[in-house]
A = this chain, B = another copy of it.
Amino acid sequence: MWGREMSAADEAISTQDMIARRSRLLGPAYRLFYDQPVQFVRGEGVWLHDAAGNRYLDAYNNVASVGHCHPHVVQAIARQAAVLNTHTRYLHETVLDFAEKLLATFPHQIGHVMFTCTGSEANDLALRVARTCTGGTGFIVTANAYHGVTSALTELSPSLGLPRPDASHARLIPAPGSEANAGEVFARHVSAALEDMRKCGIKPAALLVDTIFSSDGVFADPPGFLRPAVEAVRAEGALFIADEVQPGFGRCGEQMWGFARHDLVPDLVTMGKPMGNGHPVAGMAARPELLAEFGRRSRYFNTFGGNPVSAAAGIAVLDVIESEGLMQNAQHTGDYLVKLLRQLKARYPLIAEIRSAGLFVGVELRHGGQTGTPATAEAARVVNLLRERRVLISSAGPQGNVLKIRPPLVFGTEHADLLVQRLDQALAEVNVTQEK
């Protein structure tokens, strides 16, 4: 071993030791990415560096949305943490400045915001508000949705694969496809779920969807397909909750929120992951008439939610999105990336479909085109081959056959070039293996 960097052999030993230690300390409920898990020690922009000194192109992590360790965010956190960190039962200007800046990104009908620490807490709060305001208990979610890890949300997160309770008030419907009449089909599923609730004596509370359908496999088109479903739900007195934890904060390009793509205004909007660029901050925005009712019947306090440090982190993230034009970049780089991916698709029949909005991209792998068999094993192989080639992506969809590409928003066209070049190599290697 020479200098501070480890050899590959030393690194492998160190990784095995760390996995054993992790299992001993954290127990068996945690999962690691990759056949060969990776240890990162440093991050900067779109790059993550491992313990051996190698750098990886991050095309997966949406949390560090304005780039790993962005100095403006780091400084905001460090500065406020040194001055005061307290809770919302005292007055503090920073949480109000954050709320004002955040609400300015929403349609005027969304007038209040409440702060939590995680997207799970935000979605769980939205369930409470929806139940309180509608008197209903029924929720409609998509068949491979993920909305969080609290007791109430695991039932609404079928992607976790947990057993469903017998008298569940959740109704699962197929995610929209990308066909031209996707809106009509999706609304039909929603109406069937509402009808089933009626039969079971369940009053509906809300339709809860991730507006980019990330864990269902990324479905963005045609724009507006959510509208008929939302109309059907509202006709029954239930609410529409837009889960923006993944699509929000400019990732989908051009607009700040995923629901904007569908030209509608949600009743409740939840947000999280990129909100503090890694600092635990999340929240729920709402139509004021709903919180008026919720406030009459309930109250909310989250010890760490909306504290001055979290608020400072959140303000800094909004600053960077604006000052660095990251929404525009998400659109620009996203378009460029999809153009390159379409060129790959022409060469690799395994690529059945490319779906995207801005820098949220799904590449569906199937044997035999769009109606063929899901190429689940191949998708996992591609993800692991890219890790070997130091590019980070993941997979999604009920069969895990959709490559999920979701990089920090500072991703440039040069990074898209590198990603597609390595993806080309990985797909070629998968092809060779198949031909053997």
Contact = CB atoms under 8 A, between A and B. Distances in A.
A2 interface: no
A13 interface: no
Interface in A249-282: 272-273, 277-281
In this complex, the interface size class of chain A, counting residues with CB under 8 Å from chain B, is 35 or more
B64 A85 contact: yes
Interface stretch (A195-203, A292-300, A345-353): A292-300
A377 interface: no
Nearest to A21: B96
A69 interface: yes
Interface string A6-23: 000000000100110110
A292 B28 CA distance: 6
Interface string A231-254: 000000000000000000000000
Contact of A78 (B77, B87, B103, B114): B77
Contact of A84 (B69, B127, B279): B69
A68 B286 CA distance: 33
Given A151-B127, A300-B30, A38 B91 contact: yes
A432 interface: no
A114 B29 contact: yes
Interface in A133-171: 149-152, 154, 160, 162
A29 B99 CA distance: 15
A341 interface: no
A119 B291 CA distance: 24
A93 B15 CA distance: 10
A96 B77 CA distance: 24
Nearest to A84: B43
Nearest to A71: B82
A118 interface: yes
A149 to B, nearest CB: 6
A431 interface: no
A95 B278 CA distance: 15
B288 A27 contact: yes
Contact of A151 (B27, B99, B124): B124
Contact of A295 (B28, B294, B297): B28
A113 interface: yes
B117 A27 contact: no
Contacts of A149: 121, 124-125, 300-302
Contacts of A154: 128
A103 B25 contact: yes
Contacts of A84: 40-43, 48, 68-69
A100 interface: yes
A81 B77 CA distance: 8
A328 interface: no
A401 to B, nearest CB: 20
A415 interface: no
B310 A22 contact: no
A90 B128 contact: no
Given A74-B78, A118-B117, A303-B118, A90 B160 contact: no
A359 interface: no
Interface of A: 15, 18-19, 21-22, 24-33, 37-43, 48, 61, 63-64, 68-69, 71, 73-74, 77-78, 81-93, 95-96, 99-100, 103, 111-114, 116-121, 124-125, 127-128, 131, 149-152, 154, 160, 162, 272-273, 277-281, 286, 288, 291-292, 294-307, 309-310
The 6 A-B residue pairs whose C-beta atoms are closest, nearest first, are A28-B295, A27-B112, A78-B78, A85-B278, A151-B152, A39-B91
17 contacts: A26-B88, A26-B112, A27-B294, A31-B299, A32-B90, A39-B90, A40-B92, A64-B86, A73-B81, A74-B78, A74-B81, A118-B304, A120-B121, A150-B150, A278-B307, A279-B304, A280-B310
